[in-house]
Amino acid sequence: MDRHIINEKLPVITALERLNALSGGVMTLFAVNDDGVMTGTLTDGDVRRGLLAGLSLSSPLRDAMRRDFRAIRDGRADVAVMKAARESGIKLLPALDAKGCVKQIYDLTLTHSLLPISAILMAGGRGERLRPLTLDTPKPLLEVGGKAIIDYNIEALARVGVSDVTVTARYLADKITGHFSSPVSGIKVKCVVEERPLGTIGAASLVKRDNPDGTTLVMNSDLLTTISLEDMYLRHTSENAAVTVAAIPYSVSVPYAILATDGPNITGIEEKPSYSYYANAGIYMISNRLLDALPSDKVTDATDLVEDAIASGEKVVYFPINGTWIDIGSPTDFRQAQDLMRYHRDFTN
């Protein structure tokens, strides 16, 4: 971090030398005063514009720096601020303490965001439709593009700053726990094992949560998707939702003329209509208080939790996925995923 920080009183020539030393990385300096308070940012473009405006190499760099910088203030990770900074082309974003001093610098090319959530990946299924591939290997550990399916999802969580990740396992659980005996993408993944089947979300009752007011991402571990978890989180919080369900568009085409009827009477005919729906994508953001209420002694599916939340008057919203989503549940899905990763690398960006 220190190599990006420079005192605003130093001459422009020193700033150029420091910028040159950053060659090959992000060439941005953060200027601070004698008290360590950040006062501006400096790039080689800022120096060039300053020299053209009449500054000399001995001028203090504060005369060339930009003072209208973006930062995370008071140590609070603001997801919207990080998103706006990244979309405006900013690659390094400083986090300032209450005094305005730089306490951390985030590389937005590596960490896109800092979502204040935990995550649970459900990996207990037997993957029977993919046999014989899953006879000795749990489905989440099947490799696509030379990497375990579940690891793509761990990498996606790491990119948005989620480090509290738990995987629930049952079938061939020792293979899952062994896989995560070492960190993946810098995350030390925790594993919990279902002693008996608890449904598609019941195993979340086995995971300890420290923040009852927080949010947890719960998702199937055998998905390949480019969903924006950042945008999903912003939707979840802006709607003040208890549950947000990721959804994929699904269309049904009827190859016949459909009759509209009223009793015995035909009131209209629609030729080969198509109907569009949203389907559950198996990815949820859920209030921890709902997860904390899950029973640990009975089977609970995610759809049960969603329906109970709706019946209780909780706010439940959907988030449409704009991108790739593959539920690897069959040999056809597995081949499609293999083909996708052979020709496209959008899951690693």
Q: Which of 88, 76, 86, 77 is nearest to 107 (CA)?
A: 86
Q: Clarify whether residues 103 and 123 are in a common domain.
A: no
Same domain, 201 and 232: yes
Same domain for 103 and 142?
no
Structural domain of 32: 2-107
Residue 183 and residue 272 in one domain: yes
Residues 55 and 159 in one domain: no
Tell me, yes or no, whether 145 lies in a domain.
yes
Task: Name the one residue in this structure whose structure tokens are 């974003």.
Answer: 93
CATH number for 144 = 3.90.550.10
How far is Cα 57 from Cα 102, in angstroms, rounded to an integer? 26
Q: Domain boundary residue among 49, 74, 107? A: 107
- Of 77, 107, 137, the residue at which a domain comes to its end is 107
Are the C-beta atoms of 239 and 260 separated by less than 8 Å?
no
> Can you list the residues of the chain whose pLDDT is less than 50?
none
Number of domains within the chain: 2
- Over the chain, what HEC string results? CHHHEEECCCEHHHHHHHHHHCCCCCCCEEEECCCCEEEEEECHHHHHHHHHCCCCCCCEHHHCCECCCCCECCCCCCHHHHHHHHHCCCCEEEEECCCCEEEEEEECCCCCCCCCCEEEEEECCCCHHHCCCCCCCCHHHCEECCEEHHHHHHHHHHHCCCCCEEEEECCCHHHHHHHCCCCECCECCEEEECCCCCCCCHHHHHCCCCCCCCEEEEEECCEEECCCHHHHHHHHHHCCCCEEEEEEEEEEECCCEEEEEECCEEEEEEECCEEEEEEEEEEEEEEHHHHHCCCCCCCCCHHHHHHHHHHCCCCEEEEECCCCEEECCCHHHHHHHHHHHHHCCHHHC
Domain assignment of residue 261, yes or no: yes
Instruction: Round to whole Å and give the CA distance between 192 and 143.
Output: 22
In the numeric block, the tokens 């056809």 are attached to 332
Per residue in 305-341, pLDDT (tens digit) is 999 999 999 999 999 999 889 888 888 888 888 887 7
- Same domain for 124 and 100, yes or no, is no
**Residue where one domain finishes, among candidates 88, 107, 126:** 107
Residues 143 and 53 reside in one and the same domain: no
Cα–Cα dist 228/299, whole Å:
30
Same domain, 81 and 176: no
* CATH number reported for the structural domain that contains residue 10 in this entry: 3.10.580.10
Q: Decide: 69 and 38 in contact? Cβ < 8 Å.
A: yes
Tell me the angle at which helices 44-52 and 12-21 cross, rounded to the nearest 10 degrees.
Answer: 150
Asked if the structure places residue 61 within a domain, the reply is yes
- pLDDT given at position 344: 62
- Does some domain include residue 112? no
Predicted pLDDT of residue 319: 97
- Does residue 98 fall inside a structural domain? yes
Its pTM stands at 0.84
Instruction: Say if 113 falls within a structural domain.
Output: no
User: Does 230 share its domain with 176?
Assistant: yes
Facing residues of 94 across strands?
105
Question: Do 100 and 246 reside in the same domain of the chain?
Answer: no
